[in-house]
Structure 1
């Protein structure tokens, strides 16, 4: 199926944009702890210019809907909504943890991925995924925010060797070493717009889109995020 989807991700230190036009890919990415709001739109302009496309000619716009940095996720959904509104495009929110699973498959052929993003406050954003024959990912462990020690105590053993993706593995190496299954950590540290775009093409084929108004972030730590907003205690 011919599809043209633009994806953006600002949920972590890694800022990225990807455009898929049929089987052609146009990607920009940069590790930058700050300045995502200033960097992302020029990156969008670059991939559109390189591809010869305009926003109005696309089928949909995808974004990393979290979990991740509260500020980064908020920037991503805001920019995605603004671009989609202006171009009249539907929106496809994609889990950042699932995107890392897809990144592990793209880079290392991994089919069982344990994704852990450092959530600060001595916690990780966590999810485990198994790749299906139709290229989708089944959530073996639903995404959550959890202390590594609590996670270790709740996990059951299994016979799979899991690919460890994300910054959480290094941040909490000692605690996570107690997990009751085998983990081989790889080089995928962050979600990437290229993998978000790929997952979005599958969602597009299934008709899983929302309007720009309906696009919403997933923080997992909603109560903490709410308290950090100006005027809240």
Structure 2
């Protein structure tokens, strides 16, 4: 069992989690403008509770985006600094994947449409499906898109999905028209939390997906193509 520290500051929620000897310890706090003040004390608290040092870990995972540009940069920079100082490999994890994994953990969901409010009338959106190993896997591409564009171009009429995130909360009325069989809201999941990053990071580490500090980059998504890559669109 790998020992992994995970941290995320990509949205209003600030969180850290530590997987040590199969046990997961968690710290989180909704603090939109205090991430730089809160994340390192969270890390210190986790390490202290577990009675270990950073150098005792196998890897460091972080929420690489999408999300708030400032938040993603903060999380990436702090994670890189910690990993560099402890000579640890890094595991960049999508914030949308983290949310999807949370839907499985809390609601046993297998098909999920996470969405984060991207401001400027847009959402960060993706489709995830549970694989045989119990890990949420991306279907298609992550994207930034308006609710109207998504409704006009998304085509999965025979599929049922769980929904979660601030994107669904902000644009609930528009997104209710999505062309799917059924939408079920996941209560209690607005933001990604590091607890759910652990499962993905552990699987990625076991599959050799860890990268060096200099290769651990944030992902902002806004530069990608949107509706042309939607699942179900030819």
Query: Which TM-score applies when normalising by structure 2?
Result: 0.92
Residue segments in structure 1 that go unaligned for 5+ positions in a row:
224-233
**SS of the residue 1:157 aligns to:** strand
In 2, the alpha carbon distance for the partners of 1:165 and 1:106 equals 13
Partner of 1:29: 28
- Name the CA distance, whole Å, in 1 between partners of 2:158 and 2:137: 17
CA contact (8 A) 2:5 2:57 kept: yes
Q: How many residues align?
A: 222
Distance in 1 between the 2:223 and 2:68 partners? 12
Deviation of 1:33 after TM superposition, in Å, equals 1.2
Secondary structure, aligned partner of 2:161 = strand
Contact 2:97 2:137 in 1 (8 A): no
1:26 Cα deviation from its structure 2 partner: 0.9
Q: Which residue of 1 aligns with 2:209?
A: 208
Aligned to 2:228: none
Mapping of 1:83-162 within 5 angstroms? 83-162=82-161
Cα shift readout 1:125-181 (whole Å, capped 9, x = no counterpart):
000111011123232241100011001111113322211011011101111011011
Instruction: Answer 1 or 2: which has greater strand percent.
Output: 2
Q: Which residue of 1 aligns with 2:66?
A: 67
> 2:176 matched to 1:177?
yes
* Unaligned runs of at least 5 residues, structure 2: 225-234
Partner of 2:232: none
Aligned to 2:227: none
Q: Distance in 1 between matches of 2:183 and 2:103?
A: 13
CA–CA distance in structure 1, aligned partners of residues 100 and 36 of structure 2: 26
Per-residue Cα deviation, 1:23-60 (whole angstroms, up to 9, x for no partner): 11111001111110110000000000001110000000
Q: Runs of at least 4 residues of structure 1 off by over 3 A?
A: none
User: What RMSD over aligned residues (CA atoms) do the two structures have, in Å?
Assistant: 1.1
Residue aligning to 2:79: 80
Partners in 1 of 2:135 and 2:102 — Cα distance?
A: 13
Name 2:230's counterpart in structure 1: none
Deviation at residue 222 of structure 1 after TM alignment: 4.6
Contact 2:5 2:18 in 1 (8 A): yes
Cα distance in 1 for residues equivalent to 2:61 and 2:171: 30
Please name the residue that 2:164 is paired with: 165
Distance in 2 between the 1:106 and 1:53 partners?
Answer: 27
* SS of match in other structure, 2:126: strand
TM-score by length of 1: 0.93
